[in-house]
Structure 1
Amino acid sequence: MLNIDKIRNGIVIDHIKAGQGIHIFNWLGLDKAPYTVAFVVNASSRNMERKDIIKIDNTIAINFDVLGLIDPNITVNIIENEKITEKIKLKLPEKVENIIHCKNPRCITSTEKYIPHIFHLENSRERTYRCEYCDEIRSAGDFRNAGQ
């Protein structure tokens, strides 16, 4: 049996689709963290069969829109004094800014670098987003190529 100590104050990112946890771990730069981080891959789950879990023994700022793009079924638990004080159920964000970048060479964001890349949810089932300026359609997974 795997035993991981309780978190005093921190964050647990739970219900991550098996295999997707590494994207979150890397995006958050947790390999360089000066505090304790537990990364569990392929944990058994009653609801999901298999899942990944990340336990962070520290309070850090996290962009929940990015987590929602990676996996909208993620649950984030905020831990204080070894107890869950808040449970956040993520979803696909309706609007994202500077997470997905437009690749259309005719889009104004290609020539005017100061303009933010703004995308609106087009189809939640297919997880696609539409550029606010040129209507280019991008996948929710395209944010990984945005230079994060």
Structure 2
Amino acid sequence: MDVAAVEDRLRSAGLRVTASRVAVLRALTESRDHPRVDQVIERVHASGVSMSKQAAYDVCEALRAAALAQRIELPGAPARWEARAGDNHHHLVCRSCGETHDVDCAAGQAPCLDPVSAPPGFALDEVEVTYWGLCSSCQAQTRREESAR
């Protein structure tokens, strides 16, 4: 995504355009691997922008608050980030290596927000679904290890 498009997205969300916000949003937009903050920082540094760990967290949180990014919190793992936000998608995660992929909602746009049962008066605004399994690389590694025994 070019810089002008990233700047437009920031302005449209009501955020000031800063070099760090542009660099982080661009890194997240170009990523398909749901990077951790340390990986975001590496990518931002590679683009020529200097940024501390705290600044990276602050920018990621500002992007999340403006609905330009999403934080993915998996049990026992550091938070991961992505620019795909607000479109009702889920995640597929490898139990072994942590590889994470987006999965479109099987039920469509908003049905995930209509549970079969919920307490009266409870207003749902977000649903997180995580599919767990083993990626093809980890499956192959497991088969190699089993055959070596």
Which category describes the TM-score, using the shorter chain as reference length? under 0.3
TM-score, normalised via structure 2 length: 0.24
Larger radius of gyration: 2
**Relative to total residues, which structure has the larger strand share, 1 or 2?**
1
**Relative to total residues, which structure has the larger helix share, 1 or 2?**
2
Q: Higher RCO, 1 or 2 (CA under 8 Å, sep at least 6)? A: 1
